[in-house]
């Protein structure tokens, strides 16, 4: 089964994404620091990364994760589209705007996981 790491400080959003992605193995992290620890221990097919989070934001987390796993696809999901260029420069493949519809999310996930 393909595995996805969801990194977002909003518990409810992580739950919603997890429900949307029920056909995948989903692991959750509440910030970039936790995500980095998880990525050091196991492999994922995709990371869905929020940008603005406490402890370590998505931009720094993206850079650090890609230092460990340079081929890992990271998609940013944010309401703050003004930060899009920063996370793309950090190595994210694409920026998806919150709120995101289930169909759009599944389509993007399939595109990067397969």
Residue 109, pLDDT score: 97
Average pLDDT over residues 11-39: 97
> How would residue 79 be classed by pLDDT, with cut points 50, 70 and 90?
confident
Distance CA 45, CA 54 (A): 25
Q: How confident is the model at residue 4 (pLDDT cuts 50, 70, 90)?
A: very high
For the record, the structure tokens of 33 come out as: 């620091």
Residue 83's pLDDT is 84
Instruction: Report the domain count for the chain.
Output: 1
pLDDT above 90: residue 81: no
Convert the pLDDT of each residue in 44-77 to its tens digit: 999 999 999 999 999 999 999 999 999 999 999 9
How crowded is residue 68: how many other Cβ atoms within 10 Å of its Cβ? 10
- State how far Cα 88 lies from the chain centre: 13
- Count of Cβ atoms closer than 10 Å to residue 36 Cβ: 18
In angstroms, the CA 96 to CA 78 distance is 6
Nearest of 53, 96, 46, 95 to residue 69 by alpha carbon: 46
The tokens for 65 are 């994760």
Q: 58 is in which domain, residue-wise?
A: 3-113
CATH number of the domain to which 68 belongs: 3.40.50.2300
Non-local (6+) Cβ contacts of 35 within 8 A are 5, 7, 29, 47, 49, 56, 61, 65
**Percent of all residues in the chain with a pLDDT value above 90, rounded to a whole number:** 91
């Amino acid at each position: 089964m393909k595995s996805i790491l969801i990194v977002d400080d909003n518990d409810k959003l992580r739950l919603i994404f997890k429900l949307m992605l029920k056909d995948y193995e989903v692991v959750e992290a509440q910030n970039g620091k936790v995500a980095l620890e998880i990525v050091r221990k196991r492999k994922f097919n995709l990371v869905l990364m929020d940008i603005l989070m406490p402890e370590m934001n998505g931009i720094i987390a993206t850079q650090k994760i890609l230092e460990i796993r340079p081929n890992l696809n990271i998609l940013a999901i944010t309401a703050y589209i003004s930060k899009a260029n920063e996370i793309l420069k950090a190595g994210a493949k694409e920026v998806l705007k919150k709120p995101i519809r289930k169909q759009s999310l599944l389509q993007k996930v399939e595109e990067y996981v397969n």
